[in-house]
Amino acid sequence: MDFTPPINPHDITIDGVSHISSKDAATLTGYSADYLDQLCRAKKIRSRLLGHAWYIDKEDLLAYRKKPHQNKKKTQVLLAISRLRLALKRVDPNTDRLSSEQFEKISTLSNELYHLIFDEWAPVKQ
């Protein structure tokens, strides 16, 4: 492995490829550092672990960011489920009843979740 000292203290060159720290990658992309670490561990983006820090191939990261991700639907469904669960936790345990505002919110979230899951497979109406 050929290692060139960085010009910018956060950038390094490994085998002729420019890498940036995961912290700088987070700033560049808006992704969280934890998410970038997951991508590195899963080998979704080219990266190197040096000590305890990930250094990410900047060009590969930017290319990854431009790709349409198939997990977007899954993320939307999981987010809707977590919102629904949070709304259900707010039910008054003494009465086991929902206020009209809570009912409306849960109803809206349930509909959103239903459409996220089933609209993709619904038959086309003619």
In tens, the pLDDT along 75-114 reads: 777 777 777 777 777 766 676 677 778 778 888 878 777 7
Please choose, from the candidates 98, 10, 8, the residue with its C-alpha nearest in 3D space to the C-alpha of residue 50. Answer: 10
Q: Is 17 helix (H, G, I), strand (E, B) or coil?
A: strand
Give the C-alpha separation, 82 to 109, whole Å: 10
The pLDDT of residue 56 is 93
- Computed over every residue of the chain, the mean pLDDT equals 77
The pLDDT of residue 69 is 61
116-126 confidence digits (pLDDT tens): 776 655 444 44
Return phi, psi of residue 55, to 5°. Answer: -120, 125
pTM for this model (two decimals): 0.49
* Residue appearing with tokens 């008054």: 92
